[in-house]
Amino acid sequence: MDFLVARDDLHDTRIVEGAEEPRPADGQALLAVDRFGLTSNNITYAKFGDAMSYWKFFPAEEGWGRVPMWGFADVIESRHEQLAEGTRLYGYLPPSSTLLVEPERVGPRGFVDASAHRAELPAAYNSYAATSTDPVYDAEHEDEQMLLRPLFFTSWLIDDFLADADMFGAGAVVISSASSKTASALAQLLARREGVDVVGLTSARAADYASSLGVYDHVVRYEDASELPAGRAVYVDIAGDAQVRSSVHEHYGAELAHSAVVGATHHDRMGEVPDTLPGPRPTFFFAPDRVAKRSAEWGREGLEQRLAEAWRPYVGWVEGWLGVVHASGGEALRGAYLDLLDGRIDPAQAHVFTLR
């Protein structure tokens, strides 16, 4: 089974069943996609599918794409002498029943998929971690890992980026789409730092929920952007909403120290960045670049260990409010995907799917 999305109309979807499973050649392996999580992160992948090459990871027929997901898979057939069948893996997966990979740099920690079509794509998305040696992995929290590890990893990298830049000399960090899981993860990390005023910017509908999370010093509604705290600030844009961006930039002007573009939860309200926008030019935060930097400085193991140390208290925090919905089959996935695309998902819920 494959769940396909039209690249020119994200509301147009197809479920394809009955195709024969591929057979691995020498040096290849076939993975059974066990389960994967569905969050607003996946909508960002679809929205930026062409611009950021997300559609290239799992090619589909012309005009269609397979939205990348994060989840767990098992090696069901291996023709690579160093990769054992039965190995359980965490990584970037298609919304499909199986995935054919070409393992390279195989070791106790996992491998990298060296398939030709992925050669020029960011290495951070091509690695598959063996659960037996992954410092983040906990069998009791697979759901949280599928749903939140990629979001948390992005938030952790942003937190590290801001700290490395000494918050650009700002006393406040304003985060749009404050009720989203990426935003709240970043807020949870920033809230542990001294001297940082964490400000959530969100809709009137989600304001109470964002406040209830307990990680924002202030929660401000979009229409009240003029009431954002005064002083030097950094803006982390997870909404991608052109009007919200303009409101923040106009409020702070020269006092806006940095404007980072992270996501597009408001994907239907994106717009061009005008040359007349006050303050710094918005800059896209590309997580793989930060991964490459820190991997070079700390080594991959050092990076993963630091991530694991921050992940554990975060999981303890989300257990208090996250409700996980488990479902199977293409139709259930289609329904949840469209609800998420159109903003109809409760921010306190998340979905885990299986297509097998």
Fold category of 2-134+322-354 in CATH: Quinone Oxidoreductase; Chain A, domain 1 (3.90.180)
List the single range of 39-43, 66-70, 177-181, 348-352 with lowest mean pLDDT: 39-43
pLDDT at 269: 56
The reply to whether domains 2-134+322-354 and 150-287 share a CATH topology is: no
SS3 22: coil
DSSP string, 339-355: HHHTT-S-TTEEEEEE-
- What residue ranges do the domains of the chain occupy? 2-134+322-354, 150-287
Residue 116 corresponds to which tokens in the numbers above? 């030709």
Domain 150-287: CATH superfamily, name plus number: NAD(P)-binding Rossmann-like Domain (3.40.50.720)
- Chain Cα centroid distance, residue 330: 22
Quick one: DSSP state of residue 58? Answer: S
Whether residue 260 has pLDDT greater than 90: yes
Mean pLDDT of the 95-112 span:
96
* Max Cα–Cα distance, the chain, nearest Å: 62
List the single range of 162-166, 192-196, 237-241, 307-311 with lowest mean pLDDT: 237-241
